[in-house]
Amino acid sequence: MDIGYARVSTVKQDLTRQLDALAAAGIAPELIHVDKKSGATRTRPGLTEALKQIRGGDVLVVHTLDRLGRTVRDTLNLVHELTDKGVGLRTLADPFRIDTTAKDDPMNQLALVVLALFGQMERTYAAERSGHARAVATANGRRAGRPSVVDPDRLEHATLLRATGATMADITAKTGLSRSTLYRHLPAALAPTLRA
């Protein structure tokens, strides 16, 4: 039996292309597991469910190898775990197709290592580009990252409470804002005193 797995890194990204490819490969929707979570961690509910469902003789099918993981070690460890269970791995859209059920094809091992390395390199370069963009934005006086979702009225209320000597417990109870949010958003002059 073929079991599908699809992953994107954030909830805002779209899985449609991967799901369409898995469906076109003949995998039933109930056999496709999905995650909207970084591939840098193995703690992914969809992957966990796929691994629970899969049995010896089955094949795990992914759109591309980097959907399984974004580090060489994690990806290769997962592939070895699958192999030890008698489970195959097949990719649908990698430039070098992987099908570990073809055990006598030496190109599978080479493709596996090369594509795992490319996935890790891509993740490293993306992190470097993001870091550089944040540094440039900060140097130019712009705030980098996601826009704040904190209600400005509640933040203003928290600032006034703190200025009048309210404790952190009082502020969080009255505004509904968490301690970490207050540390992040209150003016610097007030932030160091929030431990009270």
Nearest CA to 54 out of 84, 96, 97 is that of: 84
Q: What gap in Å lies between CA 117 and CA 189, rounded to an integer?
A: 46
Which of 9, 38, 148, 180 is the catalytic position? 9
Q: Which phi and psi angles does 60 have, rounded to 5°?
A: -90, 125
For 171, the token pair is 């502020």
176: tokens are: 């509904």
Beta strand ranges found along the chain (DSSP E) = 2-8, 32-36, 59-62, 88-91
Contacts of 172-178 spanning 24+ positions with Cβ under 8 A:
177/150
68 Rama class: left (phi>0) / alpha (psi -120 to 50) / beta: alpha
Looking at the DSSP assignment, which residues form a beta bridge with residue 175?
Answer: none
Longest dimension (CA), the chain: 75
Q: Among this protein's residues, is 148 annotated catalytic?
A: no
Active site residues: 9
